[in-house]
Structure 1
Amino acid sequence: MRKETIKVAVADDHTLFREGLKLIVNSCDGLELIFEAENGQVLLEGITKITKLPDVVLLDLRMPIKDGIETTKELRQQYPDIKILVLTMIDQDDYIIHLLDMGASGYLLKNSSADEVQKAIFSVMESGFYFNDHVSKVMLNGLKRKRTLPPMLDAMTKISAREIEVCELMAEGFTTQEIADKLFISARTVETHRKHLMEKLDAKNTAGIIYRALKEGLLQ
């Protein structure tokens, strides 16, 4: 069980929506909103000036000056440990798949309930990703369309049976410690397997590992 408060930042150009997210975050035990911004540029500049980096960023896509796609790219490059939860009105399959492929840990629509937003924040911190039923369906449909592409045979032949076991448990939502307990290995060893999977599958985070593993047929 995580004891430290999860620090959250928000980037959205609508003041009323930011105020709503602030209430959703700060009303939940274990969460704290530490920074808010009206666009990606303000977010990126602002988090360099605060004492502690956010653990999770709730990120809109359509924003002036610097949009969510550009911001996701820069966050992944500069702060790879920050989890990115896209929160947008854009319900288009290509956007969902593209953002997850870029390194976002989850994708929510703005009509999501307060409970789901809170659940998603905890999930990306505990498991590294949050896929609700809608996003899971989009991913699977997108992967079916891409089945005509040749698989990454070189990477697949290098992935060990143990790494596949770890990948399967990650996809089921187990935390690092829970995976370690199930496989009778240390948490550090689990993290080593996760790092190797990221390298072999050319993934940016846990969400990317699962997406690429599904794409290559490593997970059913």
Structure 2
Amino acid sequence: MENTPTELELSVRKYNADPELNIRIVPETTAFLLVDCDKSSADNQIVENQIHSALKIARESGMKIVYLFNAIHGVGGSNDVTTKIHGLDYLKNSWKPLIPKFNQLIQPLENEAVIPKSHKDGFNGTVLDYYLKTWNIDTIIAAGFSIKSCLFHTCIGARHNNYRVVMLRDCTNSSEFPDTVDTENPEGGWLRFVFLRIYETDIGYTSTSTDLMKASLN
């Protein structure tokens, strides 16, 4: 594409940093990572609005697109702790891979990687790190589900594998419990507030799909 930018100046948020902070994003060395955005895990309203628009920008700018999905409910046998903790003991053959189904608006293209995972951290036991390194990726922009589970843990995995990681905070759900919702809290609830504070202090940057769109237009 003739108008594809060679780099983007993305507005980001980091705890105790300049409120006007921008970072340079080079699409050629950046991956747009969709974590558990298939129909079995995703909030469809967020998919059809924020994630869809962010994915469109990532594709048009030339970022590498990668999908992660939960391939199994556990890792196998009857004593699998993941299966037990989610109350899925009744399942048989929990090791059996599932075929993910996506909303048409974010359907993976033929040349985009779709990687199965069996842990909350998408780097744990998968080819994700190897795949990204073969494309010389050093930055990840992450979206998906959920902020207190797989998206959060995968972002920690990215940090531990030495990637600069940006979470799109409007491209995930709030995951609030009934007793953590607080309309006076700037994030709408204490769970989201705390997870974002931990993230923006120790893991990486956050931004939004709107900021990504603005960066693509500059």
TM-score relative to the length of structure 1: 0.39
Q: Greater strand percent: which structure?
A: 2
Tell me: higher relative CO, structure 1 or 2? Use CA pairs within 8 A at least 6 residues apart.
2
